[in-house]
Chain A
Amino acid sequence: MSITLDHVNYSYSVGSAYEKHALKDVNLTIKDGEFIGLIGHTGSGKSTLIQHLNGLMKATSGTIYYNGKDIYDNDFNMRELRNKVGLVFQYPEHQLFETTVIKDVSFGPKNQGLSQLEVDLHSYEALKQVGIEEDLIDCSPFELSGGQKRRVAIAGVLAMRPEVLILDEPTAGLDPAGRDEILDQISKLHKERNITVILVSHSMEDVAKYVDRIIVMNKGEVVYSDVPKKVFANYKVLETIGLAAPQVTYVMNGLREQGIMVDTNATTIHEAKEEILKWARREIIEG
């Protein structure tokens, strides 16, 4: 289930005083089952980009192919695309509207035209996946805590069983525990159901642990698209566009500058520890 973007451009409010070129010649391929981190500073065009992937926004020029089919073809079924590519917006809890949690989560599957049995099945399963306890499902979604609301809203998209799941800053405004919980659940989903996941964030730290590939955007352009290690190696460039590599990258580079020969490619705390221990062993044996 690959998505290919071919020379995609997008401008807001064409012809008015507020015209803004938000996407500039974007070329990307997103392969089946990939876990991608889409990173960029505020206003870098990442939210605009993801709205193109399920056809909510139409490129000013360029083409997008879903499984090889041009989504701007007249006979392309846009509804079908939106069923396959699930998009969780920023602060998704702001879109809750139903009287009970379960009714809200069922909104998506119901729109897919499933039978009542399937709707219930998918909705309960999605709520379980995001870790919402059964005693909450008949509550009003407005009575829940912020973190719970967010998870219910994510379940609302999961219940549609998308093949590609896009999340726009799913951890914005959550505490560290809530953040880890949501990211762990997404990672688990990715492994268990083998769906493609695109995680939008402005924090390298958050995504480094989970993703296979990082796409860095700046001012509407794709700057890097590579495995995390290779992207973080350019940490000096990242700083110039208002981003930062994970703390670990800085620690490892700092150590190296002090003459401690460790591999600067370590991206997680665990890898860094192994690297430093490896160096220590070498030093002890040699010394």
Chain B
Amino acid sequence: MIRDITIGQYYPRDSFIHKLDPRTKIIGTFIYIISLFFFRKFIPYLVVFGFLGLVIKTSEVPLKHILKGLKSIMFLLIFAVVFNIFLTPGDILWKWGFLKVTRQGLETAGFMAIRLVLLIMGSSLMTFTTTPNHLTDGLEKIMNPLKKIKVPVHEISMMMSIALRFIPILLEETDKIMKAQMARGADFESGNLIKKAKSLVPLLVPLFVSAFRRANDLAMAMEARCYHGGEGRTKMKPLQYHKQDGIAYVILFGYLAVLVIVKLISPF
């Protein structure tokens, strides 16, 4: 049921990628995403594919699992591709009534599809290999310089980690309440739109109540343990760069260099 949703859920393994410092992975993913957008040629994408394939291979996350995550953007992808193919002006290749396919349209749609797929695969790989706690730790550390201009970095990252932590809890709660109401004869599937929306009331009201109750309990528990923001707060396991992070950065810059060279010499 609902608990089987896997988008971005941590996939426990003990690979090289899993053991990297979260900062390395965040910065790496960021650079990777930028690298997807700075050229409009097809051949360099082979380099990107190769690099991504290598990272997936070392991460030990099954490719099937990563492709499953793509299902959720299928609709968006098809939507974007179709609109780009038919609505981009340019040299007409094929025409039927008001529909026309242009060379530029095909090109844009192709780039769009490749970039979107690579983007989702790359960034979901980061969440597959990093626990939410590590992720927010890394973000906090990266954003640390912003404290100088009075950005509440610690609070933002705490909010993020709580929000992330609550996603599975609320999903489980939804599943439970749904089942409890189904046991009382509730029907969430049949009927028209209005009836379906109405049938959600017995699900949403208890869900909201429970979200507030949990938030309240959590705030109380944090205060009971003397939490008062990030001021003077130390960490049990402070983040530290290791040798493997150095290797990862070298590989990353190697990838960028190859990409730039291929971009410059490839004809299309």
Seen from chain A, the residues whose Cβ lies within 8 Å of a Cβ on chain B are 12-13, 16-17, 51, 54, 56, 79, 82-83, 86-87, 89, 92, 94-97, 107-108, 111-112, 142, 156-157, 160
Number of B residues near A (Cβ < 8 Å) is 24
Q: Is the CB of A97 within 8 A of B202?
A: yes
Q: How far is the CB of B138 from chain A (nearest CB, A)?
A: 22
A51 CA to B1 CA, complexed, in Å? 13
Q: Is the CB of A89 within 8 A of B180?
A: yes
CB of B3 within 8 Å of the partner chain: yes
- B175-192 residues at the A interface, CB under 8 angstroms: 176-177, 179-187
Seen from chain B, the residues whose Cβ lies within 8 Å of a Cβ on chain A are 3-4, 6, 11-12, 65, 173, 176-177, 179-187, 201-202, 205-206, 209-210
Q: How far is the CB of A11 from chain B (nearest CB, A)?
A: 12
Take A16-B4, A17-B12, A94-B177 as given contacts and tell me if A54 and B183 are in contact as well, using a CB distance cutoff of 8 Å: yes
- Offer 24 A-B interface pairs, CB within 8 angstroms, sorted by A: A12-B3, A13-B3, A16-B4, A16-B6, A79-B185, A82-B182, A83-B185, A87-B180, A87-B183, A89-B176, A89-B180, A94-B177, A94-B180, A94-B209, A94-B210, A95-B180, A97-B205, A97-B206, A97-B209, A108-B185, A111-B184, A111-B187, A112-B185, A160-B185
A107 CA to B180 CA, complexed, in Å? 12
- Chain B residue at minimal CB-CB distance from A168: B180
A54 CA to B182 CA, complexed, in Å? 10
- Chain B residue at minimal CB-CB distance from A96: B206
Q: Is the CB of A16 within 8 A of B201?
A: no
Q: Is the CB of B179 within 8 A of A51?
A: yes
Beyond contacts A95-B206, A111-B184, A142-B209: 10 other A-B pairs, Cβ-Cβ < 8 A, are A12-B3, A17-B11, A82-B183, A86-B183, A89-B180, A92-B180, A95-B184, A107-B184, A107-B186, A156-B184
B183, B185, B202 pick with most chain A CB within 10 angstroms: B183
Q: How far is the CB of B150 from chain A (nearest CB, A)?
A: 40
A51 CA to B3 CA, complexed, in Å? 16
Dominant secondary structure at the B interface: helix
A83 CA to B184 CA, complexed, in Å? 8
Q: How far is the CB of B214 from chain A (nearest CB, A)?
A: 11
Q: Is the CB of A16 within 8 A of B65?
A: yes
Q: Is the CB of B206 within 8 A of A94?
A: yes
- Chain A residue at minimal CB-CB distance from B187: A111
Q: Is the CB of A160 within 8 A of B184?
A: yes
B11, B180, B184, B206 pick with most chain A CB within 10 angstroms: B184
A86 CA to B4 CA, complexed, in Å? 26
A94 CA to B209 CA, complexed, in Å? 8
Take A82-B182, A108-B184 as given contacts and tell me if A13 and B4 are in contact as well, using a CB distance cutoff of 8 Å: yes
A199 CA to B265 CA, complexed, in Å? 74
Q: Is the CB of A107 within 8 A of B202?
A: yes
- Chain A residue at minimal CB-CB distance from B1: A57
Q: Is the CB of B187 within 8 A of A56?
A: no
Q: Which residues of A contact B184 (CB under 8 A)?
A: 95, 107-108, 111, 156-157, 160
Tell which of A89, A111, A142 touches B186, judged by Cβ atoms closer than 8 Å.
Answer: A111
